[in-house]
Amino acid sequence: PERWLVPDGHSIDEKQRDEFLGFGFGPRRCPGQHLAVREAVIIIAILLRNFDEFYADAETHSPKFSSRLTMCHQNSP
């Protein structure tokens, strides 16, 4: 979100980033924190269960990385 960007709009304000706590802290923290984390683990396990694991023949299929998953600001190059 824009609230973490410095005025130039392309870099993250480190101070703002370090002050963010997703579930809060102390007596007013999110009461559903533990449930949310457990649900996330279960959902990831269910997703991974749907994939089959297999090994490719190294002689015919060499690894090739054609893309990457990154997050960047909407206006960055």
> Is 12 a member of any domain?
yes
Q: What is the pLDDT of residues 32-49, one digit of tens each?
A: 888 999 999 999 999 989
> Is 39 a member of any domain?
yes
> Is 56 a member of any domain?
no
Q: What is the pLDDT of residues 61-76, one digit of tens each?
A: 665 666 666 655 555 4
> Is 65 a member of any domain?
no
Contact at 8 Å (CB) between 16 and 4?
Answer: yes
Distances (CA, A) of 67 to 21, 49, 64: 31, 24, 9
Domain extent at residue 40: 2-49
- What is the Cα–Cα distance from 57 to 54, expressed in whole angstroms? 10
Q: What is the DSSP letter of 11?
A: S
- What is the Cα–Cα distance from 30 to 28, expressed in whole angstroms? 7
The structural domain count of the chain equals 1
> Is 32 a member of any domain?
yes
**What pTM was estimated for this model as a whole?**
0.44
> Is 61 a member of any domain?
no
